[in-house]
Every structure is written in C-alpha cells, then in structure tokens.
Amino acid sequence: MSENVQRESLWRRWVVNPVITQLTQGTSPSKIAQAMAFGVTTGVFPLLGMTTIVSLAVGIPLKLNQPVLQVFRELSYPVHLGTILLFMRAGEDLFGAEHVTLSIPMLTERFFADPGRFMQDFGMIGLYAVVVWLLIAPLLLGTVYFISRPLVEKLANRLNLIPHDA
C-alpha cells in the first residue's frame, strides 16, 4: 500500500504538478498580455517547424501562461506563412546576398527530398531571415503587448477576476 502511495506521489510530483503549474502560472493581466505578445512574435519566427520550440524556449523561463502563449502562436500561423518569404528577401537585401528563386511549395519539396542538400542551398538564407526577425521582434513584441495589456486589464476588471500572480 505504501508503494502505491509512493507511486502516486511520484506521478503527482513529476507529471501532475508541473502540468498544473504550466496551466496556472502567469494569469495576471500583465502576464497574459506578455504571453499574447510572445505568442504572436514567436509565431512568425521565419523557419518552418520551429515556432513551437522557440515559444517554449521563451515561455518557460519567463513563466508565461503556456496555453495562452501557444494559442496566440497558432493564431499567428497565417501571418507566419505570409512573412517567411518577406523575412528571407529582407535578409538577402540586408546582407547583400543574391536573390534566390523561392516559393513555399518548392522549399518544402526540396526539404523533404534531401534535407542535407536543402541546408547547403538555403541555410544562409534562413539565417538571414532569423537575423531580420531578431531585429523586428522587439517592435512586434512591444506593439502587441501595449495594445493587448489595456484590453486584458479591462476584461479582467469587467469579469472581476483576481490575478494569481504578478
């Protein structure tokens, strides 16, 4: 019987408690607005398949509300697809690189056909795009945060919600 209690406490300690913490942390209006801003900003990271990893890498150390962060990351997906080529072109211009013929279908086809060759052909363009994103991210983050914070605070006041943390 004590072994069952021990297993239960290990389960609770290693699985249940961390999940509950991730779901309930960062629920003040300010932290919700931060999670929204970081969700949108990481959601337009210019490399396909990396937005979840980037948002987790940002959200966990900042103790942002993961559900809010991930929802806004997902909501920014259409913008993400529309900005990938823009980031790549801006990066080529910023670094003075030659423009390479690009399209999303062509990039995905080439990636799945031969990932190693794809990285040789397009790795630097991806790096250029990330640099442009790093330059634009603070502006996007600030804009979304300062627009969303008063709206979230107003909603919290209207619903008479008490923040769980600052």
pLDDT, residue 106, reads 87
The reply to whether 56 falls in a domain is: yes
Which residues constitute the domain of residue 82?
Answer: 2-158
DSSP letters spanning 62-130 = HT--HHHHHHHHHHTHHHHHHHHHHHHHHHHHHHTPPP----HHHHHHHHHH-HHHHHHHHHHHHHHHH
Residue 164 lies in a domain: no
- Whether the per-residue pLDDT at 165 is higher than 60: the answer is no
Q: How many CA atoms lie within 13 A of 114 on its CB side?
A: 6
Number of domains composing the chain: 1
The answer as to whether 166 is a domain residue is: no
Higher pLDDT pick, 13 / 45: 45
Q: Is the pLDDT of residue 166 over 80?
A: no
Neighbouring C-beta atoms of residue 74, cutoff 10 Å:
14
Name the pLDDT band for 27 (thresholds 50, 70, 90): confident
pLDDT score, position 46: 96
Is position 163 within any domain?
A: no
Decide if 39 is inside a domain: yes
74-79: average pLDDT: 96
Is residue 90 in a domain?
yes
The C-alpha atoms of residue 65 and residue 60 are separated, in whole angstroms, by 9
Q: Is residue 35 part of a domain?
A: yes
The verdict on pTM exceeding 0.85 is no
In this predicted structure, the answer to whether residue 17 has a pLDDT above a threshold of 70 is yes
Render pLDDT for 83-124 as a digit per residue (tens, 0 to 9): 999 999 999 999 999 988 888 788 889 889 999 998 888 899
